[in-house]
Amino acid sequence: MAVDVSRLKDLYPLDSLRPEHLEALTREGELSVHARGELLFRAGDQDERTVYLLSGEVRGDYPDGRQKSISGGSLQGRYPLGDLQPRRFTATVCSDTDAEVLSFDRRFVEKVLTFDQLVRSGRFRTDPGDPDASRWAFRLLQSKALRKVPAGSLERLFTRFEPINVKDGQTIIREGDDGDYFYVIKEGAAAVSQMQDGG
């Protein structure tokens, strides 16, 4: 299910994101509906998801017997649900109506927040008049190449990018050459060819 960007504007810390970054994040969210009695996660789970309760009510049962109730749309509901890993409590839908839950890959959220701060600080420049100016960076943030790069290392990576203009047909790197740079295609297309065995 797709999620409308307006539903994210009150969620913390997503409420601090620039509109174009919030829009990019919505494309990665998973919206799900859960009935009364359904389990969202158990105490002790490590699932690498950031979970928000958009509507409905969830009961949190701690291993020591304590309980708490969280309602979507409440002040507490603005924050990620049981965000610490491993999970500290078991979350079960307890409302009479269905609960809407929005979840994201935790690492991706951290990277988007880091990238947003980098753009706001001016240490990474994008064209403020072009809402698609950061699209290439978001594709990079989602790539397998950066999947395990800690969010804290992204600042160093993005501030070291240097744009280079290339002409049609120009060779950028040859197979067998020493790897000197990490290349990202910001705009346009490139062909990659590989030498066959024996030359």
Q: Does residue 199 have a pLDDT over 60?
A: no
Q: Is 125 a domain residue?
A: yes
SS3 state of residue 70: strand
Residue 22 lies in a domain: yes
80 Cβ partners below 8 Å, 6+ apart? 12, 50, 51, 52
Range of the domain at 41: 1-152
Chain segment 54-101, per-residue pLDDT in tens = 999 999 999 999 999 999 989 999 999 999 999 999 999 999 999 999
Note the pLDDT of residue 123. 66
Residue 79 lies in a domain: yes
Residues of the chain with pLDDT > 70, as a percent, come to: 91
Q: Is residue 189 part of a domain?
A: no
Q: Is 124 part of a structural domain of the chain?
A: yes
Torsion of CA 164, 169, 172, 178, to 10 degrees: -170
Q: Cα–Cα–Cα angle for 46, 83, 107, nearest 5°?
A: 70
CATH assignment at residue 85: 2.60.120.10
Confidence band, pLDDT 50/70/90 cuts, at residue 151: confident
Neighbouring C-beta atoms of residue 41, cutoff 10 Å: 19
Is the pLDDT at 165 greater than 80, yes or no?
yes
Predicted TM-score of the model (pTM): 0.75
The span from the CA of 133 to the CA of 111, in Å, is: 17
Is pLDDT larger for residue 180 or for residue 34? Answer: 34
| CA 136 from centre of chain | 15
Q: Is residue 171 part of a domain?
A: no
Res 125: pLDDT: 64
Place of tokens 């969010």: 151
DSSP 1: -
Do residues 59 and 32 lie in contact, with contact meaning Cβ atoms separated by under 8 Å?
no
Residue 173 included in any domain: no
Residue 139 DSSP one-character state: H
Q: Please check whether residue 27 lies inside any domain of the structure.
A: yes
pLDDT band at 49 (very low <50, low <70, confident <90, very high): very high
Is 20 strand, coil or helix?
A: helix
Domain count, the chain: 1
pLDDT for 2: 67
- Give which of 150, 79, 156, 87 is closest to 123, Cα–Cα: 156
The answer, yes or no, to whether residue 182 has pLDDT greater than 60, is yes
pLDDT, residue 56, reads: 97
Contacts of residue 183, Cβ cutoff 8 Å, sequence gap at least 6 = 172, 173
| Amino acid letter for position 145 | A
Confidence band, pLDDT 50/70/90 cuts, at residue 127 = low
101 or 119, which is more confident: 101
User: Distance between CA 71 and CA 55 in Å, rounded?
Assistant: 7
